[in-house]
Amino acid sequence: MAACEKQQASDLHMSPGLRPQLRVNGDLMNAPDFEPLTPELINAISESMMHDGHRRALEERGSADGSRSSSSGGRFRFNIFRRQGRRAIVLRLLEDRFRTLAELGMPDELYRLAELPDGLVVVSGPTGAGKSTTLATLLDKINRERRCHMITIEDPIEYVHQSQLALVNQRELFTDVPDFNEALVASLRQDPDVILVGEIRDLKTIRTAITAAETGHLVYTTVHAGDCVGTVERLVGVFPADEQDGIRRQLSLVLRTIVNQQLLPAIPKDGKKGRVASSEVLVNTPAVANLIALGKSNQIHSNMETGRAVGMQTLEQDIARLWVTGRITEQTAVATCRNVQVMRERAALLRRGA
């Protein structure tokens, strides 16, 4: 852990027979001054991290998630998993403070998501895209500014929110609760105003999250999906075909916003590599809600193109901004966007000040 903090690495990998590896600015490198790790040492390290709930998860599912703090106070998320009959460990270094949206490279307009009275807010993207960090920023704003009861259900707890103006109760899988859905059902009997579900992975949890949003709660969650339209289809596609029309109608009523984000390699500064966030934002306007309800997701993108006034933006628009402002290279912009021609057109408009 100390090596991870010293090298400002995002992740530390420990596998039997190999030297520890650090991920620094997206690239893996051997940790300096370490010998290959023995299976026995990795077992001992993993045992020191786990409690009985983690051990049950490792036995039943083949992996266990948790979090712990280092001697210097740094907080880490860990995943212990079996590979070829032996254990391996991955630790992710978490932020030691709540950052602003500007620091994260996200639009300031997203702060309005902390002011919503109810509904469903989804942050999507690939693993390691900063979804939890974005949500932590929004929850911190709620904690500082709203008198409410906030419940989080996480696997594991990544950012610790000390109750300020809000009352905050954080619950962790396999430590406090057996699974997301059971914890979410129970939370509805705990007088919540705001609920964070760390990730919705299955039909039951998605259904319960939609029900919670329908009954006057503000629900935040994350989904693994490639873009905003894909997030809608991911939420609906989990259900059997004969239920999807009904779920689309429900989702069209409770959904407030989808934010999709990913991290891109930034142009190095002073010889140092880094990453920058790109984002796509879908706001559920009446027109978008109608398209969701009718299953016409393929038409949503055109609404996003013209929805800047209500806070929407497409991936191409944001990537064009990052390229024009010198944050990413042309090569990265072209490789990341879905439609190169549209992205170049948006970049040309930005250069003309349009």
Angle between helices 340-351 and 315-324 (to 10 degrees): 50
Q: What is the pLDDT of residue 354?
A: 60
Inter-helix orientation angle 286-293/241-254, to 10°: 170
Contacts of 246 (CB under 8 A, 6+ apart): none
How many angstroms separate the CA atoms of 139 and 98, rounded?
Answer: 10
Predicted TM-score (pTM) of the model is 0.86
The tokens for 47 are 């045992």
Per-residue pLDDT tens over the stretch 303-328: 999 999 999 999 999 999 999 999 99
- Could you give the CA distance from residue 180 to residue 185 in angstroms, rounded to a whole number? 9
What integer is the mean pLDDT of 42-62? 90
Q: What region, left, alpha or beta, does residue 10 occupy, with left being phi > 0 and alpha being psi -120 to 50 degrees?
A: alpha
Domains, in order of start, for the chain: 2-93 (3.30.450.90), 101-313 (3.40.50.300)
pLDDT at 69 over 80: no
Q: What is the pLDDT of residue 169?
A: 97
Q: Can you tell me the mean pLDDT for 245-265?
A: 96
pLDDT tens-place string over residues 159-189: 899 999 999 999 998 889 888 999 999 999 9
Report the distance separating Cα 336 and Cα 127, nearest Å. 16
pLDDT at site 24: 85
